[in-house]
């Protein structure tokens, strides 16, 4: 991938809306035995939004790293690795009570942390796979437009 | 200007492609058109089962000398590549089955001491084509008479000429990979095959490309320097070639390579044969045969009704002799590829002056398999000089190392201009190109972001001069990182059969009394001279594309006074002309005709708005730009490829159904 900052942000937002939010909804329902009870589902949305925000904050850093590479690209392995880093940061901050809209109790060791890890995994894998090519099926100009949408 | 007489050295070729017997000289005293073939009517008769009755014509004019294939069954080749019509330069080799004709504007000096016996006398040919008794005018002069000198031509004039006229909406001239990719886009956007036509000399769209691959030692089972997602048979680039190969070579290796490249694994590249196979499938799906017209494009003119007319001379089955045909189209796309190979000057001089030693030197892009065959047939010491440090040199050295298995006394001398230390790689802003074994390393022929990253934007936005400087900095010779290539260089140096010689070749001469070697003098960077006596020299410094060598493009440039791009030095000095100037949408704006549009793609647009024009993905980019341009300008009812239409098209591709 050879995204620009605008491309990273646009793609991140799109994937968050079309994959992140719907999958989170299904996951939240599944964890609550498919009973709609918003107070117990809300935390999943707050958490996935936190990971999304941390990604947005890190995007300029990634762009800087790209400029150090001769090909100015972002290999899939980097994308994979740094997505996990973003999750790790979100988890560490939440567990230490540093995210005001997340209760550190929800990210304690034990079953809570596994709920978060599984949540991240089911959201992250489809997002990563979408970047490997399926996004181009809908947006053929995306790969030539540095991961931005619209006409070239 | 050509000074007459001009000479062609004619030699018979053995079954392995090497010259047998002495050379004869064909002397042409005056301008004119001379036919070559096995018929009694041919001006020059050459026998052989595979030679056509009239195989080719030599077209000698005051300003240029050209060769034209006359619809021969087995083709005419110039420097190893099949041509339809091409202007010749000194030293160019025309080959037809069993024969070689070499263009030598001056007569070679007699070589005292060479093993060859006294050369037989020259065949003298001179003929005046004009005047009484002249043969009927050929298609080229017929066309000049129809087109006249006006830049626009009425359809009634074309019809009145009595030649067949066909009307389509979209026409691509070239019929190679560039045309294929453009038409594939049109078809996937929803244009029916009946509205599209393409003119080309080869019935298979990848034939020319495949020939370049074969000559530069990439047989079908070897890998190209191309990305998994750069699929000329799939406008979406998904699923990539790596996925296709997954079944064949184990799930994890393919997946891991694409996932880990270029940091954890070597970059994935597809096999040539797999690419060709996939192109065959797509050609059937989009109805290539229905759209394809076999022939050689002769000229293009604007029509008075806001369209274009392209004249072509049909070839192949049902060609119907000399009759020209015309196609009138609203939108024309030009993707004619490399007009012909041109060599670096010293090489060109050598082959022009010492035709009898032509078999000892080769450009890597011309057919030179006879060299490897000769090396493998003996166990005597053979010295081969490989010049250049690009990817082609890597491949040639790989091929030579295979030949070493049959002839362990083969010595490879690798001539490269200067030492390149680990820190000497090109620098662009904060990044530096990696260097290994004196060669700059890059997975593809441009940095990756030139195709669709920030460098594409930066280059497109830059001024003409700045583009030239960027092109110079990011381009240049590089090779891919492949462990087998590194191993050959390291093991060869250790075992003493591979040696790097630094310096530029300053002299290239025959050796008196030794017909099987050339003398190569290399001036080292320290100012010493190193003298090499080599059995073979393989020049891997690349091809020079001169678009004026295509008579079709030269006529277009002159008739419409079209501007060209220019090369620039790293310091920003303007150099010689390169490709046709096109807009960022790949339109040749000088040819705009009311609602008619002409686009170009591929190597003929070098120096224009995009760096990687000469690549699979680059062809897809330019096709996308030009087809999208028709959509945004609302021309000729090209429907937009919106996300859901795109998905629909992709599902059809996956299912193998017609778009």
Rounded Cα distance, B525 and B503, in Å: 5
Rounded Cα distance, B144 and B481, in Å: 52
Tokens of A72: 């100015």
How confident is the model at residue B251, as a pLDDT?
61
Considering only CA atoms, which of B502, B509, B497, B511 is closest in space to residue B530?
Answer: B502
Rounded Cα distance, B365 and B211, in Å: 9
ipTM over the 0.85 cut-off: yes
How confident is the model at residue B372, as a pLDDT?
95
Please, is B532 exposed, middle or buried when counting C-beta atoms within 10 Å of its C-beta (0-12, 13-18, 19+)? middle
Cβ partners under 8 Å of residue B534, min gap 6 = B360, B383, B384, B385, B413, B517, B518, B520
Helices within A16-108 (DSSP H only): 21-31, 38-68, 76-95
Rounded Cα distance, A105 and B171, in Å: 67
Tokens of B492: 């060869």
Cis previous bond, B262, omega within 30: yes
With CB atoms and an 8 Å threshold, state whether A73 touches B434: no
Would you tell me the crossing angle of helices A38-68 and A5-15 to the nearest 10 degrees? 160
Cβ partners under 8 Å of residue B616, min gap 6 = B177, B181, B226, B230, B231, B232
Overall average pLDDT of the A113-134 stretch: 94
Residue A100: DSSP 8-state = T
With CB atoms and an 8 Å threshold, state whether B455 touches A143: no
With CB atoms and an 8 Å threshold, state whether A152 touches B443: no
Comparing alpha-carbon positions, the chain B residue that sits nearest to A79 is B259
Tally Cβ neighbours within 10 Å of residue B243. Answer: 16
Cα atoms in the 13 Å half-sphere on the side-chain side of B174: 28
How confident is the model at residue B23, as a pLDDT?
73
Tally Cβ neighbours within 10 Å of residue B648. Answer: 15
| 3-state secondary structure labels for all residues of B523-577 | ECCCCCEEEEEECEEEECCCCCCCHHHCHHHHHHHHHHCCCEEEEECCCCCEEEE
CA atoms A105, A108, A111, A117: torsion sign: positive
Helices within B120-206 (DSSP H only): 139-147, 155-160, 177-189
Cα atoms in the 13 Å half-sphere on the side-chain side of B115: 10
CA distance A23 to chain B (A): 21
Summarised one tens digit per residue, pLDDT across range A108-122 is: 877 889 999 999 999
Give the three-class secondary structure for B199: strand
Tally Cβ neighbours within 10 Å of residue B589. Answer: 13
With CB atoms and an 8 Å threshold, state whether A146 touches B456: yes
Rounded Cα distance, B13 and B48, in Å: 11
Give the three-class secondary structure for B338: coil
Contact of B622 with B451, CB cutoff 8 Å: no
CA distance B555 to chain A (A): 32
In angstroms, what CA-CA distances link A95 with A12, A99, A113, B440? 24, 9, 9, 47
Contact of B187 with B193, CB cutoff 8 Å: yes
Helices within B600-642 (DSSP H only): 616-632
Rounded Cα distance, B352 and B310, in Å: 36
For chain B, residues with pLDDT lower than 50 are: 108-121, 126-137
Q: What share of chain A is helix, strand, coil (3-state, %, to 5)?
A: 70, 0, 30
How confident is the model at residue A14, as a pLDDT?
98
Q: What share of chain B is helix, strand, coil (3-state, %, to 5)?
A: 30, 30, 40
Residues of B in contact with A133 (CB under 8 A): 229, 236-240
How confident is the model at residue B123, as a pLDDT?
55
Residues of A in contact with B229 (CB under 8 A): 133, 136, 143
Rounded Cα distance, B97 and B77, in Å: 9
CA distance A8 to chain B (A): 11
How confident is the model at residue B520, as a pLDDT?
93
Rounded Cα distance, B608 and B579, in Å: 7
With CB atoms and an 8 Å threshold, state whether A140 touches B431: no
Rounded Cα distance, A45 and A24, in Å: 7
Rounded Cα distance, B385 and B502, in Å: 12
Please, is B155 exposed, middle or buried when counting C-beta atoms within 10 Å of its C-beta (0-12, 13-18, 19+)? middle
How confident is the model at residue B174, as a pLDDT?
96
> In this complex, which of B264, B448, B641 lies closest to A77 when CB atoms are compared?
B264
Residues of A in contact with B632 (CB under 8 A): 151
Tokens of B460: 């497109």
* Chain A interface, Cβ < 8 Å to B: 2-4, 66-73, 75-78, 80, 132-134, 136-141, 143-146, 151-152
Overall average pLDDT of the A12-37 stretch: 96
Rounded Cα distance, A67 and A64, in Å: 5
With CB atoms and an 8 Å threshold, state whether A152 touches B624: yes
> In this complex, which of B262, B632, B646 lies closest to A137 when CB atoms are compared?
B646
DSSP assignment of B266-312, as one string?
PPP--BHHHHHHHHHHHHHHHTHHHHEEEEEEEEEEEETTS-EEEEE
With CB atoms and an 8 Å threshold, state whether B449 touches A71: yes
How confident is the model at residue B319, as a pLDDT?
63
């Amino acid at each position: 991938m050879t995204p620009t900052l605008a491309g990273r942000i646009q793609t991140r937002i799109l994937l968050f809306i079309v994959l992140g939010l719907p999958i989170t909804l299904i996951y939240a329902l599944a964890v609550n035995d498919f009973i709609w009870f918003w107070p117990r589902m809300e935390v999943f949305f707050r958490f996935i939004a936190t990971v999304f925000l941390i990604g947005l904050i890190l995007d300029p850093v990634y762009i800087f790293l790209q400029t150090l590479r001769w090909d100015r690209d972002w290999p899939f392995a980097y994308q994979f690795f740094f997505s996990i880093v973003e999750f790790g940061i979100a988890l560490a901050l939440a567990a230490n009570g540093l995210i005001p809209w997340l209760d550190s109790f929800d990210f304690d060791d034990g079953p809570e942390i596994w709920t978060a890890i599984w949540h991240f995994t089911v959201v992250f894998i489809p997002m990563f796979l979408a970047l490997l090519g399926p996004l181009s099926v809908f947006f053929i100009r995306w790969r030539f437009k540095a991961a931005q949408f619209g006409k070239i | 200007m050509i000074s007459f007489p001009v000479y062609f050295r004619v030699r018979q070729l053995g079954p392995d492609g090497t010259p047998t017997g002495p050379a004869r000289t064909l002397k042409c005293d005056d301008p004119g058109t001379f036919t070559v073939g096995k018929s009694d009517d041919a001006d020059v008769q050459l026998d052989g089962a595979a030679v056509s009755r009239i195989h080719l014509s030599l077209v000698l004019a005051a300003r240029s000398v050209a060769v034209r294939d006359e619809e021969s069954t087995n083709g005419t080749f110039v420097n190893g590549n099949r041509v339809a019509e091409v202007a010749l330069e000194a030293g160019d080799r025309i080959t037809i089955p069993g024969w070689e004709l070499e263009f030598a504007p001056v007569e070679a000096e007699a070589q005292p001491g060479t093993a060859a016996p006294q050369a037989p006398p020259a065949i003298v040919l001179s003929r005046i084509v004009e005047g009484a008794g002249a043969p009927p005018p050929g298609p080229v002069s017929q066309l000049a008479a129809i087109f006249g000198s006006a830049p626009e031509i009425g359809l009634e004039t074309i019809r009145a000429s009595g030649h067949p006229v066909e009307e389509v909406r979209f026409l691509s001239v070239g019929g190679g990979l560039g045309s294929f990719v453009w038409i594939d886009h049109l078809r996937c956007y929803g244009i029916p095959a009946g509205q599209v036509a393409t003119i080309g000399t080869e019935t298979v769209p990848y034939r020319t490309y495949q020939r370049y691959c074969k000559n530069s030692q990439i047989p079908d089972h070897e890998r190209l320097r191309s990305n998994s997602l750069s699929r000329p048979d799939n406008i979406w680039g998904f699923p990539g070639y790596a996925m296709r190969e997954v079944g064949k070579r184990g799930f994890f290796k393919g997946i891991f390579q694409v996932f880990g490249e270029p940091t954890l694994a070597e970059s994935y590249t597809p096999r040539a044969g797999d690419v060709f196979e996939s192109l065959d499938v797509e050609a059937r799906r989009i109805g290539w045969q229905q759209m394809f017209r076999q022939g050689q494009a002769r000229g293009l003119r604007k029509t008075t009704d806001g369209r274009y007319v392209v004249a072509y001379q049909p070839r192949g089955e049902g060609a119907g002799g000399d009759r020209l045909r015309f196609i009138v189209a609203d939108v024309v796309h030009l993707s004619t590829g490399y007009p012909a190979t041109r060599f670096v000057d010293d090489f060109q001089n050598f082959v022009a002056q010492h035709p009898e030693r032509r078999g000892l030197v080769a450009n890597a892009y011309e057919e030179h398999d006879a060299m490897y065959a000769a090396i493998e047939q003996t166990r005597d010491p053979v010295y081969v000089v490989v010049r250049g440090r690009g990817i082609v040199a890597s491949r040639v050295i790989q091929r030579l190392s295979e030949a070493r298995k049959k002839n362990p006394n083969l010595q490879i001398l690798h001539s490269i201009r200067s030492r390149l230390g680990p820190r000497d790689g090109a620098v662009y802003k904060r990044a530096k190109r990696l260097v290994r074994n004196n060669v700059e390393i890059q997975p593809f022929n441009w940095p990756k972001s030139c195709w669709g990253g920030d460098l594409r934007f930066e280059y497109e936005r830059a001024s003409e001069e700045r583009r030239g400087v960027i092109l110079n900095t990011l381009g240049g010779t590089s090779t891919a990182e492949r462990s087998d290539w590194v191993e050959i260089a390291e093991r060869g140096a250790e075992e003493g059969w591979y040696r790097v010689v630094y310096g530029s070749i300053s002299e290239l001469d025959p050796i008196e009394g030794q017909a099987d070697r050339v003398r190569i003098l290399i001036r080292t960077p320290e100012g010493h001279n190193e003298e090499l006596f080599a059995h073979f020299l393989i020049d891997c410094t690349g091809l020079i594309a001169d678009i004026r060598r295509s008579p079709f493009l030269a006529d277009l440039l002159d008739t419409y006074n079209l501007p060209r791009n220019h090369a620039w030095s790293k310091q920003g000095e303007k150099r010689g002309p390169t490709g046709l100037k096109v807009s960022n949408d790949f339109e040749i704006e000088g040819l705009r005709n009311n609602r008619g549009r002409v686009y170009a793609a591929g190597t003929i647009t070098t120096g224009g708005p995009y760096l990687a024009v000469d690549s699979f993905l680059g062809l897809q980019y330019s096709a996308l730009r030009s087809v999208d341009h028709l959509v945004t300008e609302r021309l000729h009812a090209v429907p937009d490829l919106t996300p859901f239409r795109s998905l629909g098209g992709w599902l059809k591709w996956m299912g193998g159904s017609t778009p």
